[in-house]
Amino acid sequence: MATVKGTLAPSPNSNDGSLVIAQWTAVLNAGDGTPAELGDFADKSVQVTGTFGVGGSISLEGSNDGTNYVILTKPGGTAATLTAAGLIAIVESTRFVKPVVTAGDGTTSLNVTLLARRSTPLHQ
């Protein structure tokens, strides 16, 4: 399984530290992304683009200990899993979040952009 190093940076539209963007580029079949530490951020949305390939699927997983990960959920209680390009909200507020490609083929290559919002800005 190939692990893609992600990036975590303040959103260019946020001058108070309340928004950050985590990105993982070209997550391949049977691959995952390095965990982003987002414990201070309660609200999260995830956008996935790219080539899903035959049977391609990607899930967002979370952990509070950095070792044991579980698939997160969307509003309504269904798994935070996508089989086509889209944008979803994440319900749980976990310390770590990472994308995991759970199915696909040799053409599967997905780009993941996660926006996280702090409920209380750093600079008030």
The CB-side HSE value for 88 (13 A sphere, CA atoms) comes to 25
What's the CA gap between 2 and 116, in Å, rounded? Answer: 25
The CB-side HSE value for 73 (13 A sphere, CA atoms) comes to 6
pTM of whole model > 0.85?
yes
* Tens-digit pLDDT profile for residues 99-116: 999 999 999 999 999 999
* Tens-digit pLDDT profile for residues 16-26: 888 999 999 99
* Tens-digit pLDDT profile for residues 38-78: 999 989 999 999 999 999 999 999 999 999 999 999 999 99
What's the CA gap between 124 and 106, in Å, rounded? Answer: 48
